[in-house]
Amino acid sequence: MSGFKISTVAIIGVGLIGGSFAAALKQAGAVGTVLGAGRRPETLKEAARLGLIDEIVSYKDAAQRADLIFVAAPVGAFEAIFKELAPWLGPKTIITDGGSTKQNVIEAARNGLQSRIAQFVPGHPMAGSHEKGPQAADAQLYAGRRVMLTPLVENHPQDVETVRAAWQACGANVVSIDPSQHDGVVAAISHLPHWVAALFMEYITHSDDAALKLQTAGSGFRDFTRVAQGSAEMWRDIFIANRPAMLAELQAMKAVFERAEHALRENDAQWLENMLDHASKARRDWQDLGS
């Protein structure tokens, strides 16, 4: 939405995701004042020093003063945050989030916000980095990236459009999706890759010859394991929160591993070549879509 501007935005959790949202809005001239709130004073002070936020405030002040609140904390903390915000929310204040799961976040919002649930528009930016903290914030993080909104039946359409416009001001491509569809999709394309990379690093570092393996690892190893550097706290919460979808994807992935292992044991070179050729073509086709 061209010319979009919102007077006051509050960021709860000014790390990579929250800090980048603030930086993008500021760079676009789409926000007047950015407030920062959270549980770690040192993080908030660093965010203020970097110019990501203009003022450090309490949850109460954020709820009373902000037109839009963006919750970018670990999803396990959401219900407690919502409960702190609820008594002080202005009647027109909109809340949205950057949580990687949606059904559990919506449940947390219903428990925490209760009668204010209509003011919460759930969202999930499909962007990130292995870096963390306010120092990793990047105003271009969301440029050209997809943001998924999972609106509630209680939401006012104009509130959904405000959240959409805020993300578009950050350069994002915004789509709407059902929460149950969202959690299954991201389990496959986002959460499972992190799980595999983290477990692979666990396997390598506990090998008897771990030092030799790490000394000889090259660019392929670096690219494959990059996401394993992410926040342990954040990813722990994501895996637990999206447990049903993760378990379903793990079962499906296990079947593929078992079929590939069988081909290797049976010296089935043709199956392996067909599989590798299909994987290569699928990756190229996806890349050609501009993903």
Sign of CA dihedral 231, 130, 183, 118: positive
Residue 221 is encoded by which pair of tokens? 């190893």
Residue 80 is encoded by which pair of tokens? 């407690």
pLDDT score, position 1: 44
pLDDT score, position 289: 76
Q: Strands of 123-125's sheet, edge to edge?
A: 123-125, 146-149, 173-176
The pTM score is: 0.80
pLDDT score, position 125: 95
pLDDT score, position 45: 96
Amino acid identity, position 122: P
Nearest to 163 by CA among 150, 178, 182: 150
> Three-state SS for 34?
strand
Indicate the CATH number for domain 181-288: 1.10.3660.10
pLDDT score, position 19: 96
Indicate the CATH number for domain 6-177: 3.40.50.720
Q: Which residues pair with 264 in a beta bridge?
A: none
Considering just the CA atoms, what is the radius of gyration of the chain in Å?
21
pLDDT score, position 290: 65
Query: What is the total residue count of the chain?
Result: 291
Sequence ranges of the domains in the chain: 6-177, 181-288
Tell me, letter by letter, the H, E, C secondary structure of 179-230. Answer: HHHHHHHHHHHHHHHHHHHHHHHHHHHCCCCHHHHHHHCCHHHHHHHHHHHC
Residues of the chain falling short of pLDDT 70: 1-2, 130, 290-291
* Separation between Cα atoms, residue 196 and residue 101, nearest integer Å: 18
